[in-house]
Amino acid sequence: MWVFLLTEILFFGGLFIVYTVYRVWYPEAFTAASHHLDIPLGTVNTAVLIGSSLTMALAVHAAQLNSRKGIIVFIALTMVLGSVFLGIKGIEYSHKFHEHLIPGPHFAFEPQFVRQAQIFFSLYFMMTGLHALHMIIGMGLMIWMLIWAYNGTLGDGYYSPVEIVGLYWHFVDIVWIFLFPLLYLIGRHG
Amino acid sequence: MAEQHHGSDHVVPTRIYYGIFAILLILTGVTVAAAYIDLGRMNTVVALAIACFKALIVVLYFMHMKYSTRVIKLTVIAGLYWMGIIFALTLGDYLTRAWGTFGQQITLR
């Protein structure tokens, strides 16, 4: 599983390097574009995702202790928190849509930054979209874990699947830990 | 059936998980607050330092790296090392070209 996560580090790493290069090239445009992101929603979402990592860790803990009920409760809680995150993300996307911040012919922005800001928002949607896709996959795997916990496949000291889903989920959390300051919090003191 | 799972058998007390959760929440608050203070170029450094520390405690405690075998630790370090190579070589290339540095266009004579 860790080897798979390494490929994921490099997968997201490619986007982070593109982000770094463009931010170094167009710092003013990135600052201006970042000001259009919603810090309260982003902060709440960060807290929600950290909370889901906690419940995931507790689910693995329950699995280690052979508590079927614990697995089901904490996996379900993790899925609820994951859904809240995606819901808030959806609200943010719809705001961007109404503010004409989707890159393309209808993109509207301060004229001097209109081209560079589209790069920022392309990266924003690409990185957060890919992150959201990972979360959807993670929650799909959790449905599987719920079934296995329910029908008794997990248990008797066999908990690797829960542990692996947990590693995946924490990885997705870490990606967001970096995305949040890099996308939302650029040059806010200005 | 201990041979069925390859993860760490170490059972971490739940108070550690709650403690890590609290630290992560506090650091999220700190990173938002720090963004509003003018630290010049250090703003990005501070934000990334906090993010790295948060990632570190997630890996160590939530992902049980602290209790994992050496080969798993080595695997992760190898991955981060490759990531470092990507960043070092890419930035070594882009930042040394005369296309512009930190937003200021270089006037070529």
* Beta carbons of B62 and A166 less than 8 Å apart: yes
B45 within domain boundaries: yes
Residue span of the structural domain in which A21 resides: 2-184
Q: What is the DSSP letter of B4?
A: G
- Contact residues, chain B, for A173 at CB < 8 Å: 58, 62
Q: Tokens at residue A166, please?
A: 């947990």
Residues 22-51 of B with CB under 8 A from A: 24-25, 28-29, 31-32, 35-39, 43-44, 47-48, 50-51
A173 within domain boundaries: yes
Residue span of the structural domain in which B48 resides: 11-67
B74 within domain boundaries: yes
Q: Is residue B27 domain-shared with residue B51, that is, in the same domain?
A: yes
Domains identified in chain A, total number? 1
> Is A75 an 8 Å CB contact of chain B?
no
B57 within domain boundaries: yes
Q: Is residue B77 domain-shared with residue B107, that is, in the same domain?
A: yes
Q: Which residue of B has its CA nearest to A55?
A: B17
Q: Is residue B53 domain-shared with residue B16, that is, in the same domain?
A: yes
Q: Is residue B85 domain-shared with residue B55, that is, in the same domain?
A: no
Q: How far is CA B1 from CA A58, A95, B67, B109, in A?
A: 22, 51, 20, 74
Give per-residue pLDDT as tens, A120-145. Answer: 999 999 999 999 999 999 999 999 99
* Beta carbons of A54 and B5 less than 8 Å apart: no
Q: Tokens at residue A130, please?
A: 């890919």
What's residue B42's pLDDT?
Answer: 87
B73 within domain boundaries: yes
A127 within domain boundaries: yes
Give per-residue pLDDT as tens, A23-45. Answer: 888 888 999 999 999 999 999 99
* Beta carbons of B17 and A28 less than 8 Å apart: no
The residue written with tokens 């081209």 in the block is A115
Q: Is residue B31 domain-shared with residue B62, that is, in the same domain?
A: yes
* Beta carbons of A188 and B36 less than 8 Å apart: yes
User: Mutate which of A37, A41, A46, A52 to test chain B, going by most B C-beta atoms within 10 A?
Assistant: A46
A189 within domain boundaries: no
Give per-residue pLDDT as tens, B49-81. Answer: 999 999 999 999 999 999 999 999 999 999 899
Phi, then psi, of A3 in degrees rounded to 5 = -65, -40
Give per-residue pLDDT as tens, A102-123. Answer: 998 889 898 888 889 999 999 9
pTM (2 d.p.): 0.89
